[in-house]
Amino acid sequence: MKWKELIDIKLEEWALIISTVVIVLLVFLQVLARYIFDISIGWSSELSRYLLIWITWVSASYAIRMREHIRITTVVKLFPASLQKIIEVFVVVVWFAFALAMAVEGTKVVLAIQMMNQTSSILGWQMWIVYLILPIGGVLMMIRLIQQLYFIFRGKINDGGESV
């Protein structure tokens, strides 16, 4: 496996796979403890929630890379190829603006929560760490969107809209 592939695709894949497995194990452990041993493991549900939030934003970035987000390609295919490219670029630029706003505003949220010194109820974690995924997710999406622009201009997008 090449370093480029490891960093470009596999790192996100493995982070998502491991996080999902951890959530499944935590929920299974909670169900087992509650219904078999009649005890509750409160921290497992809180950790599962936080992991799910992080998985959501890392998955959004990964889906951009794999071009797996919901797309309306039928209408775009009605236009000539040159106009299709312009539409693709426009969509990426608008999406980039959203990701940039998310990164900037997410950073403001993280800093505000950090100043308040808010902690999670059960785990006792600093909440700014949980909210850190907002700017991280925005930056990851911006990186992937820049990558998509590169693919569009280099002609590495096939007729189905997938990157090759």
Q: What is the pLDDT at residue 164?
A: 43
Q: Where are the domains of the chain?
A: 3-153
Q: How many helices (H) and strands (E) does the chain have?
A: 7, 0
Q: By three-state DSSP, how is residue 136 classified? A: helix
Give the three-state DSSP class for 164.
coil
- Reported as a pLDDT band with limits 50, 70 and 90, residue 52 is very high
pTM for the whole structure: 0.81
Residue where the block lists tokens 């590169």: 150
